[in-house]
Amino acid sequence: MRFRNKRDVRNHIWRVMEERNMTKFPSRGRIPNFRGSERACERLREIEAFWKAEMVFSAPDSVLRKGREICLEEGKSLLVAKPHMKGFLLLRDADPQKASTITGMLRYGAEVRPPSIGKKVNMFLQGCVAVDLKGNRIGKGTGYGDREYTILEKAGAMAENCPVVVIAHDIQIFDDLEYLMDDRDVPADIILTPTRVIDVRR
């Protein structure tokens, strides 16, 4: 399947997921929080990068809630972006279930500026609207995910070779979307779905 632009990819995924009742609430205009996202997030425990990471960054999307919970359960420092790119919060030793929601992040997280975090981010976790088997990722169209990565990188807060891990449903994965990408797009290194782990670096 070949698309004219990223907007067409997004509209295709949102339509298909809505028609098949695959999301937990309306997904159009958002990073879809799909049924089975918890199983995809559980696959964090299957990748070496997760166990090596001391600090994990997570976007605030609902599809990543279980991932944030797992990070806190395993004693990771968790750096999260506030909704709509309004800053960053650091969570340590917080209740995993309470602090993994957006409300909980805002309540229990300490506001930080990237240069003064202390530790470097060893894993960058985000959702997607679509991603291909080469790691080319398409978000909801706001550019937040790419900007979050760039801000942390420019602030010196990213560890060298920090892997970008994307949570996706298998239906969101395409063979090739590279023809739609530009220089600002940050590629994924590892894709976690309810059924598999895809390491695109291999």
What pLDDT, in 10s, does the model give residues 94-144? 999 999 998 999 999 999 988 777 789 999 999 999 999 999 999 998 877
Mean pLDDT of 154-180: 96
Which CATH number does the domain housing residue 30 bear? 3.40.50.10420
Of 161, 150, 154, 59, which Cα lies nearest the Cα of 115? 154
- Helix (H) or strand (E) holding 17, with range, is helix 6-19
Tell whether 26 is covered by a domain: yes
Mean pLDDT of 26-49: 94
Average pLDDT, the chain: 93
Structural domain that includes position 154? 6-192
120 DSSP assignment = P
Tell whether 200 is covered by a domain: no
Domain count, the chain: 1
Tell whether 64 is covered by a domain: yes
Tell whether 199 is covered by a domain: no
Tell whether 11 is covered by a domain: yes
**Banded pLDDT at 164 (limits 50, 70, 90):** very high
Distance (Å, whole) CA 81 – CA 117: 13
Distance (Å, whole) CA 143 – CA 148: 9
Report the SS3 class of residue 121.
strand
Tell whether 198 is covered by a domain: no
Q: Strand 77-81 relative to strand 88-91: parallel, antiparallel, unpaired?
A: antiparallel
Question: Picking from 5-9, 10-14, 130-134, 145-149, which range would have the lowest pLDDT averaged per residue?
Answer: 145-149
Tell whether 145 is covered by a domain: yes
Tell whether 197 is covered by a domain: no
Mean pLDDT of 63-72: 97
**8 Å CB contact between 43 and 37:** no
User: What is the token pair recorded at 97?
Assistant: 């279930």
Residue 88 phi, psi (nearest 5) = -125, 150
**8 Å CB contact between 121 and 57:** yes
